[in-house]
């Protein structure tokens, strides 16, 4: 026999002759501890996912997708938690295999402590994700770790739409319940084949295969990250050094020069300390000085009356135009705020539509070639269209941020998930302060890549249902809602509506309604799915054309990004930022008087997603002070366009676009330059020029510096209106 039994009260102890048999018995006991932890963890995960967020919105749109992914991640986390205990158990079994039923207890205590901490940290992190849309991290502590924020916690918990104090209640009962249940586990002597351990190891392997190989999902996985992974990532972020002061100074000056190139003749000032993106018109700057929010600006004389209309710069929204001053007659709907009320009288409605993967190279008015989007080409004739618009980052979530906030992505970061504590400008929020009703329509689950954390602060209503994920269903729902429910919900307010489609997502499936025009390559399928989306968009616009409010509505259509189809060897979105992946259409249509002279034009100028918000503000007559990094496309400016995706960077100045490898940005061997006027598909690489080194250096500074600006919450000053 391997072991000889002896009686010890209700338990039978075995003295093992072989360390392996002792280790097997101990490992089996540890596995049973893990299974009990995992069972409680699964229940807590399910409760978390099925509760609404604190503001009454669903935390996720597809609970089943998230729950089974969470189980896989947690099985792997459990295996990682067991490693220290197994190491200790191995030492114990090798040193003295006798009486393992007692000697396994230190290893059990280690595993019990680790699983307890994992549960505790997991509950805190889950509730933080519900409230802030981010994992608990040092960045969040730095931003919100002050007395005023801490005092708000009881109120937030008490008003939680997911149940007042439910998160705290789960913490109070979940941790003790796990301690009690795990305390009943004993090491069973006589076990030579650790079935529980083998079962857990197999389950953990399946969990890893499920979450990493079979059905990985970066966005879904980010939301569900276990505490150990969150801690490891946070340590990685904390080790990232801030850029030297000279880099920040260079990047700041270069950004401000790029902004002024897009706003020729502007008298705006950059004078907010430690907030290098903020530009203020003299009117706003003088008011900030008068209220004590900003120190006096040397370049401003707030008592001057430059246009002779008897109103000083502090009172006058445009001290260069005598027709604009308090008390002037405001012409309704002309997009100019003549009376300095903050917005044009009778402001225009705004409908913005971002089409999934709608690449510019498939759009006729951009390429001059046969089109995959005839309805969008038609819309371009009714307004202003752009020929050289680029997405500032990839994938969709980067465009989501750029379109809403007019802020540039940074290198090796995702603003929407890495910097949820950072205050960003927001077009829908600004419009709300001017009396707008705001609504977001989405075909895809907005919780997927953390859009929801931002949307619930920016919009009054978020409209998503998993039964409407194809574009025909989305546009039909939007049509019905705008026709029947808009007036009841918005009343007499103007509205801002933003919609994001889904059907043209990789791998471009031919869902019901998508035509099959031949072939089954990715290009064939994308041609058909783009045409399908374009057709359904046209149906909606045609159906809404006779609505009385439509004549006073701006319609803006763009793509969230393009998609490569092998033009430069890339067949996946993350492999390139050349025009096939980043080029998108941008059309601004409507009967706005300031668009009349531009109707039917396809402008050949640098432009990007950053320009959408400033252009809308310009058309509505709203002061553009703030941290908007783009330009109004109604002006005569020529701002540079920057695109950043991890280590793939580009800068476009004039007609020259320079691509740089972020891992070695100073190495000319990694540069590629193209002439966007003569080579819109970027097929001919140009020789390196003397000025390319300066462009690459400027791009390098910007890509790295912006991480520091976001992570230190220096986009908007604390006194800026929320």
Per-residue burial over 359-383, b if 16 or more Cβ lie within 10 Å, else e, is bbbbbbbbbeeebbbbbbbbbbebb
Beta bridge partners of 283: none
Query: Which runs of consecutive H residues, i.e. helices, occur in 263-395?
Result: 282-290, 364-367, 374-380
Does the structure show a pLDDT above 60 at 297?
yes
Q: How far apart, in Å, are the Cα atoms of 186 and each of 105, 178, 264, 673? A: 9, 15, 77, 68
* % of residues, the chain, pLDDT over 70: 92
Contact 390, 641 (CB under 8 A): yes
Reading the block at residue 180, the tokens are: 């009690």
Does the structure show a pLDDT above 70 at 144?
no
Contact 128, 149 (CB under 8 A): no
pLDDT at 145: 46
Which of 190-204, 291-305, 309-323, 503-517 is least confident?
Answer: 190-204
Averaged over 98-110, what is the pLDDT? 79
Sequence ranges of the domains in the chain? 3-238, 350-604
Place of tokens 């918005």: 490
**pLDDT top residue among 332 and 127:** 332
Q: 522-548 pLDDT, tens per residue?
A: 999 999 999 999 999 999 999 999 999
- Which of the four pLDDT bands, split at 50, 70 and 90, describes residue 630? very high
Which of 215-219, 272-276, 533-537, 694-698 is least confident?
Answer: 215-219
Query: Which runs of consecutive H residues, i.e. helices, occur in 327-413?
Result: 364-367, 374-380, 396-405
Q: 400-446 pLDDT, tens per residue?
A: 999 999 999 999 888 998 898 899 999 999 999 999 999 999 999 99
Q: Return d(Cα 442, Cα 4) in angstroms, integer.
A: 67
pLDDT at 143: 44
Beta strands (DSSP E) in 527-605 are 553-559, 586-589, 601-603
**pLDDT top residue among 239 and 545:** 545
pLDDT at 234: 66
Phi and psi at residue 453, in whole multiples of 5°?
-60, -30
Averaged over 670-686, what is the pLDDT? 96
Per-residue burial over 334-349, b if 16 or more Cβ lie within 10 Å, else e, is bbbbbbbeebbbebbb
Reading the block at residue 143, the tokens are: 């931003």
Q: Return d(Cα 690, Cα 294) in angstroms, integer.
A: 41
Domain 350-604, what fold?
Answer: Alkaline Phosphatase, subunit A (3.40.720)
Reading the block at residue 332, the tokens are: 């309704």
Which of 9-18, 112-121, 223-232, 660-669 is least confident?
Answer: 9-18
Q: How far apart, in Å, are the Cα atoms of 36 and each of 83, 125, 246, 442, 575? A: 17, 21, 55, 39, 43
Averaged over 20-43, what is the pLDDT? 88
Phi and psi at residue 349, in whole multiples of 5°?
-70, 155
Phi and psi at residue 279, in whole multiples of 5°?
-120, 140
Give the predicted TM-score (pTM) of the model.
Answer: 0.86
Maximum alpha-carbon separation in the chain: 108
Averaged over 365-383, what is the pLDDT? 96
Helix count and strand count (H, E) for the chain: 24, 16
Reading the block at residue 15, the tokens are: 């003295």
What is the distance in angstroms between the CA of the first residue and the CA of the last residue of the chain? Answer: 75
Helix (H, G, I), strand (E, B) or coil at 489: helix
């Amino acid at each position: 026999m391997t072991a000889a039994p002896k009686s010890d009260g209700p338990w039978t102890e075995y003295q093992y002759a072989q360390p392996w048999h002792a280790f097997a018995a101990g490992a089996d006991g540890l596995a049973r501890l893990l299974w009990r932890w995992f069972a409680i963890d699964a229940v807590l995960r399910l409760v978390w996912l099925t509760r609404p967020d604190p503001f009454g919105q669903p935390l996720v749109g597809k609970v089943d997708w998230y729950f089974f992914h969470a189980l896989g991640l947690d099985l792997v986390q459990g295996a990682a938690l067991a490693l220290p205990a197994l190491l200790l158990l191995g030492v114990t079994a090798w040193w003295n295999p006798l009486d393992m039923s007692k000697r396994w207890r230190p290893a059990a205590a280690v595993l019990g402590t680790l699983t307890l901490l994992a549960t505790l940290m997991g509950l805190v992190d889950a509730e933080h994700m519900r409230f802030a849309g981010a994992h608990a991290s040092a960045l969040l502590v730095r931003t919100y770790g002050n007395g005023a924020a801490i005092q708000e916690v009881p109120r937030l918990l008490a008003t939680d739409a997911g149940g007042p104090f439910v998160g705290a209640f789960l913490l109070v009962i979940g941790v003790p319940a796990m301690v009690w249940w795990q305390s009943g586990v004993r090491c069973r002597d006589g076990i030579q084949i650790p079935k529980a351990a083998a079962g857990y190891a197999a389950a953990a392997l399946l969990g890893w295969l499920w979450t990493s190989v079979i059905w990985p999902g970066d966005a879904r996985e980010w939301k569900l990250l276990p505490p150990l992974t969150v801690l490891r990532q946070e340590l990685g972020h904390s080790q990232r050094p801030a850029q030297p002061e000279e880099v920040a100074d260079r990047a700041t000056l270069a950004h401000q020069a790029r902004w002024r190139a897009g706003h020729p003749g502007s008298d705006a000032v950059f004078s907010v300390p430690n907030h290098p993106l903020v530009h203020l018109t003299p009117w706003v700057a003088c008011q900030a000085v008068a209220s004590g929010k900003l120190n006096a600006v040397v370049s401003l004389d707030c008592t001057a009356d430059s246009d002779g209309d008897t109103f000083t710069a502090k009172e006058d929204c445009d001290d260069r135009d005598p027709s604009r001053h308090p008390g002037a007659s405001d012409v309704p709907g002309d997009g100019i705020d003549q009376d300095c009320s903050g917005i044009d009288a009778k402001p225009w409605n705004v409908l913005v539509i971002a089409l999934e993967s709608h690449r510019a190279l498939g759009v006729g008015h951009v390429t001059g070639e046969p089109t995959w989007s005839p309805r969008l080409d038609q819309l371009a004739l009714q307004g202003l269209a752009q020929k050289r618009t680029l997405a500032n980052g990839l994938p969709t979530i980067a465009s989501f941020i750029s379109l809403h906030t007019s802020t540039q992505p940074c290198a090796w970061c995702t603003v929407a998930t890495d910097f949820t504590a950072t205050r960003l400008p927001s077009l829908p929020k600004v419009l709300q302060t001017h009396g707008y009703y705001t609504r977001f329509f989405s075909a895809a689950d907005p919780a997927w890549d953390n859009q929801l954390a931002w949307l619930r602060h920016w919009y009054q209503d978020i409209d998503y249902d998993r039964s409407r994920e194809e574009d025909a269903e989305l546009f039909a729902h939007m049509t019905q809602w705008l026709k029947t429910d808009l007036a009841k919900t918005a009343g007499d307010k103007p509205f801002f509506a933003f919609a994001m489609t889904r059907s043209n997502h990789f791998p471009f499936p031919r869902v019901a309604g998508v035509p099959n025009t031949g072939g089954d390559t990715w290009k064939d399928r994308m041609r058909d799915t783009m045409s399908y989306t374009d057709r359904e968009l046209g149906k909606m616009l045609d159906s809404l054309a006779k609505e009385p409010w439509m004549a006073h509505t701006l319609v803006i259509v763009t793509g969230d990004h393009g998609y490569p189809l092998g033009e430069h060897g890339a067949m996946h979105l993350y492999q390139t930022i050349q025009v096939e992946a980043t080029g998108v259409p941008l059309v601004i249509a409507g009967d706005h008087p300031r668009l009349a002279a531009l109707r039917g034009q396809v402008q050949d100028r640098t432009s990007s997603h950053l320009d959408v918000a400033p252009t809308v503000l310009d058309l509505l007559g709203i002061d553009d002070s703030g941290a908007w990094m783009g330009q109004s496309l109604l002006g005569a400016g020529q701002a540079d366009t920057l695109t950043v995706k991890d280590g793939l960077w580009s800068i476009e100045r004039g007609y020259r676009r320079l691509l740089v490898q972020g891992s070695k940005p100073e190495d000319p061997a990694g540069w590629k330059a193209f002439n966007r006027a003569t080579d819109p598909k970027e097929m001919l690489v140009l020789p390196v020029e003397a000025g390319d080194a300066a462009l690459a250096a400027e791009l390098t500074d910007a890509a790295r510096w912006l991480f520091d600006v976001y992570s230190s919450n220096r986009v908007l000053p604390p006194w800026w209106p929320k």
